[in-house]
Homo-oligomer: A and B are copies of this chain.
Amino acid sequence: MEHLLQSLKIGINEKIFIKDPESSDLGKRIVEESILMIHEMGFESFTFRKLGAKIKSNESSIYRYFENKHKLLLYLASWYWGWLEYQLVFSTNSIPDPKDKLTKAIEIMTRETKEDSAFSHINEVVLNKIVINEYSKSYLTKEVDEENKEGYFVIYKRLINRISNMIKALDSSYPYPSSLSSTIIEGSLHQYFLKEHFSSLTDCNENITPTQYFIDLVFKSLKA
C-alpha cells in the first residue's frame, strides 16, 4: 500500500502539470470538462480554446495548468492508471492464494468500468473510453524516451509490474511474465476497441467478455 495513497492523491508526477489541477476549482473544471470534450470530439479536434469556451474560462488560464494538450492527456492517463492501481492493490492485497490473486487482478484490469463516486469531478466511465481511444497516442511519439525518463509513465509501468509479479509468484518458470502482463493491459484496451469498431476481429460481445478471454489465455499459459 506504500506507493498508493501517493499515486491516488498526489502521486501524479508533478512535471506533468504546471499547476496542480486538484488545487483549485478551475483546475478541477478543466479536468472534468476535458474528459467529456475529448471523448465527444476526439483528441485531435480538442483544443484549449474550445475547452475555455466550454467552461467559460480563458484559454490562457488553462495554459497555466497544462503546457499543452499532450500533457493533459498524460495527466488524465496517469490518473486513470493510478485509480486502477488503487483498486488492484486494495482488492488483491488480502488474497493469499497466488492463483486467486491473479484471477482477481485480471478481472480488475479487464472488466468494464463503473462510476466511482469517490471522485466527483471525474467521470471514470468516460475516462476509460478516452484511455481506450487515446492512450496509445500519449506514448507513440518521438518524445517517449525523454518523457519516460521524466517519469511520465511510472504508474502505468508499476501497474504492469505488479501483474507481472503476480504471474511470477504463481509460476516462476514461465519465461514471459512481463510480456504477458503488458499483453493483458494493452490487449484489454484493444479488445474493447475492436468490440466497438471492428467486431469481426474479436470474439468479445454481449456474451463473451474480455475478462473471460484473458483468464483463459493466462491460465492456459501458466503451470498452476
Q: Which residues of A contact B (CB under 8 A)?
A: 41-42, 44-45, 133-134, 136-137, 139-142, 144-145, 148, 153, 157, 160-161, 175-183, 186-187, 190-191, 193-194, 197-198, 200-204, 208, 210, 213, 216-217, 220-221
| Contact assessment for A179 and B221 in the assembled complex, using a CB-CB cutoff below 8 Å | no
| Contact assessment for B175 and A216 in the assembled complex, using a CB-CB cutoff below 8 Å | yes
Closest 3 CB pairs of A and B: A42-B142, A136-B136, A176-B203
| Contact assessment for B42 and A198 in the assembled complex, using a CB-CB cutoff below 8 Å | no
| Contact assessment for A157 and B198 in the assembled complex, using a CB-CB cutoff below 8 Å | yes
Q: Given A186-B190, A197-B145, verify A202-B179 contact (CB < 8 Å).
A: yes
Q: Contacts A42-B142, A175-B208, A178-B203 given; 13 further ones with Cβ under 8 A? A: A42-B141, A134-B140, A136-B140, A137-B140, A148-B198, A161-B200, A176-B203, A180-B217, A182-B191, A216-B221, A217-B221, A220-B220, A220-B221
Q: How far is the CA of A200 from the CA of B165 in the complex (A)?
A: 12
Q: Given A141-B44, A221-B217, A221-B220, verify A181-B201 contact (CB < 8 Å).
A: yes
Q: Can you tell how many copies of this chain the complex includes?
A: 2
Q: How far is the CA of A198 from the CA of B155 in the complex (A)?
A: 13
| Contact assessment for B140 and A198 in the assembled complex, using a CB-CB cutoff below 8 Å | no
Q: How far is the CA of A137 from the CA of B190 in the complex (A)?
A: 13
CB-contact partner of A182 in B134, B179, B190, B221, under 8 A: B190
A42: chain B residues within 8 A (beta carbon)? 141-142
Q: How far is the CA of A150 from the CA of B136 in the complex (A)?
A: 24
| Contact assessment for A182 and B202 in the assembled complex, using a CB-CB cutoff below 8 Å | yes
Closest-by-CB residue of B relative to A194 is B182
Q: Given A41-B142, A42-B142, A198-B153, verify A179-B203 contact (CB < 8 Å).
A: yes
